[in-house]
């Protein structure tokens, strides 16, 4: 048994089981004896899925051991391994009909033995979604990891690429209208581009069409987002005029543009016929409804009758799959089945001849290049191409594809020679490359994020409790606490003059940070690509903040920065809130298309049904009642546990869909809530005593999230910095 060995290694970590010690390089840590037993048992059975029943029998010798206990020890083991080797994944959680449990991914080496020959695609790989607690070793670990990653990447690149640059690219700006542009498409002949555009005075993204050369005339294909997809359903209409239209694509003949539209909780692909010579267009038609979780769904035409599209086809935790749809027969055929624990096949492009699909698949281990032969119905894996993706792959011709590698260089892969090669000597030239089918032009975007170019954290004096101290609509009313150097969101009051907030970095990593009068410091770091931040909920009268991540939820002590897993694996409460005494966590879980409200004890158990059905977020009031927003609704209801009854309390007018767990706050006297009335984004207060609605102040943005301190004197918001961002052409 490994437990009796003096020393063995898993991956890059040396294990001294009799001393409960782990060593990696110059780092040494001590772990609990039970954690050592767990590690040895899993290391003895590499690549085997070890069930919780196995662990109950062989580690705890107690079949009544709770799932929570096992999850806690698995988490402690993961945390220990991650602190020594943050760039690798050692333990994989497996769920499925055939088997579920945990699997050790690392290579086992006994003392005195050399390592066995590595597999072609080793199981030990860079972790797709990890978080790192701040500690005295944090800076050094990040520095070492960064240097190693850069060195390995350079060695890899220069080992497979000839040292010959094929292009020296000079960017030429092609869009000049005010606002921001993203996700361009180029017509087959290279004469037109279509893209998603946001006017600085509007919250909407709409589809624009313009000439790439000459006068560069611009037309709006969807000029009236406020009336698009109109509905007579009052509850649905409140969800906002429109959130976005994105990912336009031309038909093979260049006479049509298709795109994704997200509107009032619904998503669908739409199509508009165009006259490319006159820049005129006809009415839009719906092509296909898609899943509500398909935020990154897109399509690519094979021919005039068939297109490929990506979809979750289920919960947002499942990976994107590719489907083929025939517009004449209206039949759908599934093409790919990516494994769990990754975003799947959400980046793809169809070759100009319609015979192949180039796919970038996100799975455990990184981003992998695949090709799907539409003639043979065959999927072929090519290689792991990196740990980060810059949001697109495009065909140069029928024999080569282009993408941005980890170091920011445009990279070409040729199907005929099966070789990777650099396409340009220019680094970090832009993002989202797209190539015309019959033209040399490549169009890219300046902006790195799907979100606005940075967002600041601001505060304001509460006019309701501090009358006469400010003018709620004055330009200088808000005080900037955090400048928009990153995308800062979800400022949450943590007591004692402290605010916890999230930061999205340009490399798509996430940070959870603490702001106080004394400092602004890092609490947690998520090295994973996400476009929406983890939700934050601070437990009352404590230093604990709840963070949802890694398909679970965790508590971070904002004073000591100690992290502990709270939720069992598989329970990830997206919108959660604490009871006023901090003993219960309220959240909803999806079950058979319903969202029943649950509550969980502060120690992670018990977990039980409580209160109304179909709940998005619920908050406890000082009167013991619950105040909740139903799923797919913006109104606020009151739930009385004594009578088990619910009633409408606040009839909100309009929101834009940027839901968080903090679009309303319950106090002793009433409820602060965000709303959009007469095209104005404001903050209001509902007073319990008078049952009246009061205007409080104008909000600094359309973001619904806000937080308020304990004495209700200060309110915190996130304010986006909508700077200009345009498209450019390289040739």
pLDDT tens profile 153-209: 444 443 443 333 344 456 788 888 888 888 999 999 999 999 999 887 776 789 999
Burial class (CB in 10 A: 0-12, 13-18, 19+), 557: middle
Task: Decide if 217 is inside a domain.
Answer: yes
Instruction: Supply the range of the domain harboring residue 269.
Output: 177-290
In Å, what is the CA distance from 589 to each residue of 70, 278, 447, 571, 665?
22, 51, 35, 8, 21
Rounded Cα distance, 406 and 360, in Å: 13
Statement to judge: residues 278 and 150 lie in one domain: no
pLDDT number for residue 61: 78
Statement to judge: residues 567 and 645 lie in one domain: yes
Mean pLDDT: which of 326-335, 556-565, 650-659, 660-669 is highest?
326-335
Statement to judge: residues 552 and 689 lie in one domain: yes
Question: What is the band of 447 on the pLDDT scale with cuts at 50, 70, 90?
Answer: low
Statement to judge: residues 651 and 567 lie in one domain: yes
Task: Decide if 413 is inside a domain.
Answer: yes
Q: Cα–Cα–Cα angle for 489, 490, 496, nearest 5°?
A: 120
Q: Which of 448, 473, 489 is the last residue of a domain?
A: 448
Statement to judge: residues 147 and 218 lie in one domain: no
Task: Decide if 713 is inside a domain.
Answer: yes
Strand partners, 107: none
Which residues, at least 6 apart from 95, have a Cβ–Cβ distance to it below 8 Å? 340, 570
Task: Decide if 673 is inside a domain.
Answer: yes
Task: Decide if 171 is inside a domain.
Answer: no
pLDDT number for residue 158: 39
| 259-270 pLDDT per residue, tens | 998 876 678 999
Query: Residue 331 CA to chain centroid, in angstroms?
Result: 31
Statement to judge: residues 149 and 185 lie in one domain: no
Rounded Cα distance, 346 and 309, in Å: 9
Question: Are the C-beta atoms of residues 245 and 261 closer than 8 Å to each other?
Answer: yes
What is the number of domains present in the chain?
Answer: 4
Mean per-residue pLDDT of the chain = 81
CATH of the domain at 186: 2.120.10.30
Rounded Cα distance, 395 and 423, in Å: 13
Output 263 or 135, whichever has higher pLDDT: 263
Q: Taking Cα atoms as reference points, which of 429, 427, 425 lies closest to residue 442?
A: 429
Statement to judge: residues 349 and 251 lie in one domain: no
Task: Decide if 301 is inside a domain.
Answer: no
Q: Where are the beta strands (DSSP E) in 579-705?
A: 584-588, 597-601, 607-609, 615-620, 626-630, 636-640, 645-650, 664-666, 670-677, 680-687, 692-698
pTM above 0.75, yes or no: no
Statement to judge: residues 188 and 121 lie in one domain: no
Statement to judge: residues 690 and 613 lie in one domain: yes
| 364-423 pLDDT per residue, tens | 888 999 999 999 999 999 999 987 766 789 999 999 999 988 777 889 999 999 999 988
Task: Decide if 23 is inside a domain.
Answer: yes
Rounded Cα distance, 661 and 663, in Å: 6
Query: Percent of the chain beyond pLDDT 70?
Result: 80
pLDDT number for residue 342: 81
Task: Decide if 83 is inside a domain.
Answer: yes
Across the range 19-36, mean pLDDT stands at 84
CATH of the domain at 144: 1.10.10.10
Q: Which of 448, 466, 483 is the last residue of a domain?
A: 448
């Amino acid at each position: 048994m490994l437990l009796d060995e003096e020393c063995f290694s898993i991956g890059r970590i040396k294990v001294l089981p009799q001393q409960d010690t782990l060593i990696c390089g110059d780092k040494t840590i001590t772990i609990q004896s039970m954690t050592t037993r767990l590690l040895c048992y899993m290391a003895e059975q590499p690549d085997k899925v070890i069930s919780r029943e196995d662990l109950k029998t062989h580690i705890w010798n107690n079949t009544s051991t709770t799932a929570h206990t096992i999850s806690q020890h698995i988490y402690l083991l993961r945390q220990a391994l991650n602190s020594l080797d943050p760039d690798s994944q050692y333990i994989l959680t497996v769920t499925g009909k055939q088997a579920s449990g945990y699997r050790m991914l690392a290579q086992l080496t006994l003392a005195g033995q050399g390592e066995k020959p590595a597999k072609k695609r080793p199981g030990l790989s860079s972790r797709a979604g990890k978080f790192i607690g701040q500690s005295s070793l944090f800076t050094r670990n990040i520095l070492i990891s960064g240097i190693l990653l850069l060195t390995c990447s350079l060695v890899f690149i220069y080992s497979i690429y000839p040292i010959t640059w094929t292009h020296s690219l000079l960017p030429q700006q092609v869009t000049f209208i005010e606002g921001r542009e993203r996700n361009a498409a180029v017509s087959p002949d290279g004469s037109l581009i279509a893209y998603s555009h946001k006017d600085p005075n509007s919250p909407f993204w709409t589809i624009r069409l313009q000439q790439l050369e000459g006068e560069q005339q611009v037309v709006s294909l969807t000029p009236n987002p406020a009336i698009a997809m109109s509905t007579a359903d009052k509850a649905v209409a409140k969800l906002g005029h429109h959130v976005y239209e994105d990912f336009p694509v031309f038909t093979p003949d260049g006479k049509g543009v298709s795109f994704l539209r997200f509107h009032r909780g619904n998503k669908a692909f739409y199509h508009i016929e165009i006259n490319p010579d006159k820049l005129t267009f006809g009415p839009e038609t719906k092509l296909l409804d898609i899943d509500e979780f398909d935020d990154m769904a897109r399509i690519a035409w094979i021919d005039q009758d068939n297109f490929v599209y990506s979809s979750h086809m289920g919960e947002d935790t499942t990976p994107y799959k590719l489907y083929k749809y025939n517009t004449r027969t209206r039949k759908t055929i599934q093409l790919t089945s990516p494994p769990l624990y990754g975003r799947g096949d959400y980046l793809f492009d169809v070759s100009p001849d319609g015979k192949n699909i180039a796919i970038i698949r996100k799975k455990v281990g990184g981003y992998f290049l695949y090709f799907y032969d539409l003639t043979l119905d065959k999927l072929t894996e090519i290689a792991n191409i990196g740990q980060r993706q810059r949001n697109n792959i495009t065909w140069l011709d029928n024999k080569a594809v282009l993408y941005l590698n980890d170091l920011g260089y445009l990279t070409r892969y040729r199907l005929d020679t099966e070789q990777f090669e650099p396409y340009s000597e220019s680094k970090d030239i832009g993002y989202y490359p797209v190539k015309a089918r019959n033209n040399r032009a490549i169009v890219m975007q300046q902006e790195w994020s799907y979100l606005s170019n940075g967002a600041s954290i601001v505060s304001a004096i509460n006019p309701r409790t501090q009358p006469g101290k400010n003018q709620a609509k004055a330009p200088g009313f808000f005080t900037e606490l955090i400048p928009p150097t990153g995308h800062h969101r979800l400022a949450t009051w943590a007591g004692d003059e402290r605010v916890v907030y999230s930061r999205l970095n340009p490399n798509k990593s996430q940070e959870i940070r603490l702001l106080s009068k004394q400092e602004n410091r890092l609490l947690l770091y998520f090295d994973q690509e996400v476009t929406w931040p983890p939700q934050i909920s601070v437990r009352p009268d404590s230093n604990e903040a709840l963070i949802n991540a890694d398909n679970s939820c965790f508590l971070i002590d904002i004073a000591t920065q100690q992290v502990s897993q709270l939720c069992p694996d598989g329970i990830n409460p997206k919108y959660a809130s604490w009871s006023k005494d901090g003993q219960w966590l309220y959240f909803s879980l999806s079950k058979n298309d319903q969202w029943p409200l649950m509550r969980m004890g502060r120690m992670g158990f018990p977990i039980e049904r409580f209160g109304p059905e179909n709940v998005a977020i619920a908050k406890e009031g000082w009167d013991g009642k619950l105040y909740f927003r139903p799923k797919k609704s913006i109104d606020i209801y009151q739930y009385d546990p004594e009578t088990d009854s619910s009633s409408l309390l606040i009839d909100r007018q309009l929101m834009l869909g940027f839901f968080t767990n903090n679009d309303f706050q319950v106090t002793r006297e009433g409820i602060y809530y965000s709303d959009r009335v007469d095209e104005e984004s404001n903050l209001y207060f509902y007073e319990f005593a008078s049952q009246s609605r009061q205007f409080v102040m104008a909000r600094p943005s359309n973001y619904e999230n806000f937080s308020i301190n304990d004495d209700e004197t200060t309110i915190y918001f996130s304010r986006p910095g909508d700077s200009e961002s345009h498209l450019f052409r390289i040739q």
